[in-house]
């Protein structure tokens, strides 16, 4: 059963815990990346993280925007899907980065899928790129565990932190909105540490191009 974020916030405010059974989460995707990756840092089904100086290039068309999807650092498998693309980070590498071009304007469904027995960590950062001005915008950040195990208190802290973004825009200098955030956990034998996690959200790029670099005071009143 899907539980929208507003319902979760209301349940927390009322101090009551639900007694619903664990949801039937979708199966884990295959342990492979199947995606159309973009830019000079990518070859085949893998990309190199840009770090501080790497150049991820720029889209050839204004009809799309380029995004960096950083998975990790964690020491377990983790999957991120974007529309029909699957981005996979294996336990052999602490961090993987992927670069994809998404149509703009538009809506793009994103999921995060984790599994671990007895525990797992899950960390994902999504950033929007601007070629002019040259900048990266923190579009969405998810972190639970890594280091350590993802548990309910961390998930609740992350959920509560979302209250800051009243209009779904995490970086006011960027041009992407986040909406429709939902999440479910699997069974929790000790009532604290889940064995599964399934996060859903929607990326909604606006048609306009960012005009200021991230952190510019001129963006303070945007959105």
Task: Out of 16-20, 41-45, 135-139, 181-185, pick the least confident.
Answer: 16-20
Through-space distance between the first and last CA atoms of the chain, rounded to whole angstroms: 32
H helices, E strands: number in the chain: 2, 11
pLDDT digits (tens, 9 = 90+) for 122-174: 999 999 999 999 999 999 999 999 889 999 999 999 999 999 888 899 999 99
Find, among 140, 138, 80, 79, the residue nearest to 110 by Cα. Answer: 80
What is the average pLDDT value for the chain, to the nearest integer? Answer: 88
pTM, to two decimals: 0.88
Q: How is residue 79 written in tokens?
A: 């999957």
Cα separation of 82 and 205, whole Å?
13
Q: Which of 5-19, 49-63, 153-167, 205-219 has the lowest mean pLDDT?
A: 5-19
Domain boundaries, the chain: 65-207
What confidence tier does 118 reach under pLDDT thresholds 50, 70, 90?
Answer: confident
Question: Residue 119 contacts by C-beta under 8 Å, 6 or more apart in sequence?
Answer: 145, 149, 150, 151, 193, 195
């Amino acid at each position: 059963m899907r539980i929208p974020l507003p319902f979760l916030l209301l349940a927390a405010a009322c101090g009551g815990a639900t007694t619903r059974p664990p949801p039937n989460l979708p199966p884990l995707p295959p342990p492979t990346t199947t995606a159309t990756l973009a830019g000079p840092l990518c070859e085949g089904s893998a990309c190199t993280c840009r770090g501080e100086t790497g150049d991820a290039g720029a889209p050839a068309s204004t009809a799309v925007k380029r995004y960096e999807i950083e998975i990790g650092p964690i020491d377990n498998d983790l999957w991120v899907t974007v529309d029909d693309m699957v981005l996979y980070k294996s336990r052999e590498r602490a961090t993987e980065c992927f670069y994809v071009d998404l149509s703009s304007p538009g809506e793009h469904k994103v999921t995060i899928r984790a599994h671990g027995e007895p525990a797992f960590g899950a960390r994902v950062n999504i950033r929007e790129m601007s070629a002019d001005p040259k900048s990266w915008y923190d579009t969405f950040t998810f972190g639970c565990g890594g280091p350590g195990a993802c548990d309910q208190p961390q998930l609740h802290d992350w959920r509560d932190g979302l209250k800051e973004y009243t209009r779904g825009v995490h970086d006011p200098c960027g041009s992407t909105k986040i909406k429709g955030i939902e999440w479910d956990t699997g069974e929790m034998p000790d009532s604290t540490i889940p064995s599964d996690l399934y996060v859903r959200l929607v990326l909604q790029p606006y048609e306009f191009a960012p005009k200021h670099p991230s952190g510019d005071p001129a963006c303070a009143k945007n959105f």
